[in-house]
Structure 1
């Protein structure tokens, strides 16, 4: 049985992926790039459809569904989290300039030891807080929440100023990921 519950296989969901212990890993661009590349791969090869997204310092929010011919959302999320976990851990291990390397690896190792499903490290928290978006009003609320995250964190004054978000696309600019727009 899958750890990721998506009861309507064709539904649109708001999900949150949180780094264990809320480690601020995504303050470095190289780790954000791994997430973006993996999302692009999931879009192209697995049928992931993205309606909205934001990468914050220690978590990311997505509004997603699957294409009719795509894999299940449970499988896509599982593969995304597994791949990004291993790639980010590998990047931390190889990055001799990462001042937080030992501390972060210790946290991820400690979390991994507490989870019988892991062999070494745990990067993402197990859950994803999937919320089925069944109305346009609920979709709009979640999209606004996603786009306001960087503003509420005092990172930018306006949502479209934040590079790692779909707010740019919704303001008419070109963003970093291909989107299926909510209308």
Structure 2
């Protein structure tokens, strides 16, 4: 991903496991995004945290030391997931053991999807897609997109940014 350019980004939990059904793990994602926003490393324009994947519309502004904000995000969240599971679900953590030599655990699948957003019509289409995810029949997590706590839909409906991580895509 290039810097100072918006992307639609999707990252998925390994084996499509529903790890993110736990709200505590969702908060790890929110807190990681908040840290990166507060450090002025990223801007987040839209998001949804689903049981086994996340969608973001974001813009990486600069490196976080020697690594990209995307790498910092996945590395930090994986470490925090591990710490949380070791204490709260030690049996569950075994399903995330890696066979690779460079890691003990792997929570995120390799090669997340990143699509550059070049036109406003594409932004709106992707925001609608993100916001409609929780109401899709497959998930049925809520009746209306703005009712889903783990999404930016309510922000675009009311202007209220519950977690203080969002920038309106027109700003």
Q: TM-score of the superposition, structure 1-length normalised?
A: 0.84
Q: Is the 8 A contact 2:14 2:106 kept in 1?
A: yes
2:125 to 141, 147, 151: 141
Q: Secondary structure at the match of 2:158?
A: coil
* 1:59 aligned partner: 53
1:180 & 1:18 partners in 2: Cα distance? 24
1:127 to 101, 111, 117: 111
Per-residue deviation, residues 4-56 of structure 1 (Å, max 9, x unmatched): xx1x3221000011000111111111111111111101111252100000000
- Alignment map for 1:1-183 (pairs within 5 Å): 6=1, 8-67=2-61, 70-71=62-63, 75-95=68-88, 98=89, 101-102=90-91, 104-109=92-97, 112-113=98-99, 115-118=100-103, 120-152=104-136, 153-174=139-160, 175-183=162-170
| Structure 2 residues not aligned, in runs of 5+ | none
2:163 & 2:128 partners in 1: Cα distance? 18
Paired residues, what number? Answer: 165
- Aligned alpha-carbon RMSD (Å): 1.5
